Amino acid sequence: MKQLSIKEGMMLMLGLGLIGSLYYLKTTPDIFTQIESQQLIEAPDEVIEVVQTQTTLPATVIEQVKIPEWLDNKSDYDLSGLTVEDLWQFAVTAHEQDHDFFPEQQNALFYLLQAQKAGLASEESQVMMTNLQARLYDDAKAAASNYQTQELTALTARLKTINPSDPKVQEYTTLIGSFYTLERLSKQATEQLNQGLFSTQNQQDLIHTLIAAEQIDPNYPAINKTKSQAIMQLTEQAFRSADENDYEMAEDQLAIAQDIDAQHPETIATMLAIAEQKQDRFTYLDNQFYLAIEQINLLRASNLLAELMALNIQSDQISSYQELLRKTQIYGHLKPLDSSQDFLTSNTPGPEWVVIPVGQFLMGTEQGPSHQQPAHRVNINRAFAMAKHEITVGQFKQFIESSQYTTTAEQRNVANIYDTRSGRFKQKHGINWRHDYQGKPAKDDLPVIHVSVNDALAYADWLSDQTGQSYRLPAESEFEYVLGLGQDYRYPWGNNDPIQVMGNFSGAKDKLNKSRIRWRDGFTEYQDGFWGPAPVASFIPNLYGLNDLSGNVMEWVADCWHDSYTRAPSNNMAWVNPGCESRVIRGGHWASAKSDYRIQHRLKADVNFTDPRLGFRVARDIIVE
């Protein structure tokens, strides 16, 4: 194989240095968003002997050096009276005493050059000159290897004096210029390190200074020392940032260290250590996040998510945490349309309920009565569950027997019933929640009636105490939301009269036993087979799985009565004024006129009002703030 010349070797080294400063090594990807690491090619074992004067960085200019003639400053030495033979003999004696180049004016080279200048041209003198020149080459190579700028300059001056056209003279001159440049860059790098100028927008920074120096010689000791100092400083800062859980800052500092030297042992060790520390931190935060979710500790889960995001986790992983937290904030451990029930202290089940999906809808109307106006957008942003059907006589009985509560009708000892002979409603003494619409003993599966809003609120409070959950009456906005399912319809099922049996509505084809009494204001072609309240859940549920929202019995809601929706809440909070004397009733009943079945229909009633057409159902909060 052909031996590379010094010039060709220098070009090869420059190329390797450039490649080394431009390649990057990426660490193994995991759930973290990784910073990129530089992939530097290892520096060659041998020191660059010669460097071209041109580099790829325009800002780096190799110092220009002028090597003087070595004998130019030796004219003051008195050689008068010395013959050629004397000079030659002095040269031989100095050579024998190993004084080839020193002392400065009494060495073999000095005397030999003077002898040749005086005309000496013997074969012995040529052999000596050849030997001296070879030794100068060896000494120059050693000086270059040790970056001895002054020594190399002195040796090059001697070579130049021997032969000004010697190609080695130009090569060493260039190398000397590179040494001076490296000294300047080294000083500049030290200043930038002390000032913390690792990376700046104008590129007048440590990274670019080191790159410029490495393109000249990647093995220059002072530069490598500064590089190591910079990496030590950066890695220490990275560890401190990681200890403070600021992994974004730690990775920024590691990125700078990688730009300086990605293959430096300290860079690699710090990257591995912080990656392991970061993984341990992630494992801990991940476990704690899911534990907080399991415990519905939403504040802690939010704080843990913020710490997880600080780890620079990949966006899809963060999105999954955010989505889980969002769903938990809304639904807890439940999902929309989940159905369940809570148990009472007696270990018997409470009312079955359905989780209602959050959403938004247009509440009210612009064409109806003023108390249904104005139409306004409501955001159902707080998840809740609603009982599948009205509270039954049997469920209400549990409440009465457990709490010994006395209802409004019992206190007044009077309530309305339906008179089957006249087809009208009339008052009758001794009627209360235990009776049906005719005043007869009610079956347990019928919706409880003859209850005031205070009775309904008392039941919800008792249910909360029994189950440990938050039960209440539905807000009016919640009732209209589940009744209309967000659709812009007249009725819950559409805009026309029902064509199939969908609920306990007043229909012209319904009749009381064998009497001739008919509903004149109901649906003309409708018949559901019931006169009076039907057992709960006798008809198909709506798309949310809820029964009898429109029909069977009207229902109390939590809101106080207001004559319009002006200033009404824009969310699903009940609009309650302390001490209000009138509450809202929603939904139609078994004897309603057609217009009462409309989605926006609402009535006003005194808090002590009871009726054989009026009952209630409960709602349950999913997340209690």
pLDDT of residue 27: 37
Rounded to whole angstroms, the Cα distance separating 318 from 323 reads 9
Q: Which residue has the tokens 């007696």?
A: 346
Residue range 206-222: average pLDDT? Answer: 94
Q: Residue 199: is its pLDDT beyond 60?
A: yes
Q: Is 42 helix (H, G, I), strand (E, B) or coil?
A: coil
Q: Sorting pLDDT into bands at 50, 70 and 90, what band is 60? A: low
Rounded to whole angstroms, the Cα distance separating 607 from 583 reads 6
Q: Sorting pLDDT into bands at 50, 70 and 90, what band is 55? A: very low
Per-residue pLDDT tens digits for 345-381: 999 999 999 999 999 999 999 988 999 999 999 999 9
What domains appear along the chain, each with residue ranges and CATH number? 70-163 (no CATH), 275-331 (no CATH), 340-621 (3.90.1580.10)
Q: Residue 76: is its pLDDT beyond 70?
A: no
Residue range 53-70: average pLDDT? Answer: 66
Contact between 362 and 376 under an 8 Å Cβ cutoff? The reply is yes
Name the β-bridge partners of 428: 415
What does DSSP assign to residue 594?
G
CA distances from 516 to 177, 251, 526 (A): 121, 86, 16
Query: Which amino acid would we find at residue 212?
Result: A
DSSP notation for 358-376: PEEEEES-SSS-GGG-S-E
Q: At what angle do helices 298-309 and 315-331 cross, to 10 degrees?
A: 170
pLDDT of residue 50: 35
Contact between 106 and 112 under an 8 Å Cβ cutoff? The reply is no
What does DSSP assign to residue 308?
H
Rounded to whole angstroms, the Cα distance separating 545 from 557 reads 19
Q: Residue 514: is its pLDDT beyond 80?
A: no
Residue range 438-456: average pLDDT? Answer: 98
Name the range with the highest mean pLDDT among 58-67, 487-496, 519-528.
487-496
Rounded to whole angstroms, the Cα distance separating 382 from 16 reads 64
Sign of CA dihedral 598, 604, 610, 616: positive
Per-residue pLDDT tens digits for 544-601: 999 999 999 999 999 999 999 999 999 999 999 998 999 999 999 999 999 999 999 9
Per-residue pLDDT tens digits for 240-284: 999 999 999 999 999 999 999 999 999 999 999 999 999 999 999
Rounded to whole angstroms, the Cα distance separating 331 from 335 reads 6
Task: Please state, rounded to an integer, the average pLDDT across all residues of the chain.
Answer: 89
Q: Residue 67: is its pLDDT beyond 60?
A: yes
Rounded to whole angstroms, the Cα distance separating 537 from 179 reads 95
Q: How many residues does the chain have?
A: 625
DSSP run (H or E) holding 384: strand 384-387
pLDDT of residue 422: 84
Residues 6+ away with beta carbon under 8 Å from 457: 473, 558
Q: How many CB atoms lie within 10 A of CB 138?
A: 11
Name the β-bridge partners of 172: none
Sign of CA dihedral 436, 440, 442, 448: positive
Q: Residue 88: is its pLDDT beyond 60?
A: yes
pLDDT of residue 81: 86
7-11, 359-363, 463-467, 562-566: the lowest-pLDDT one: 7-11
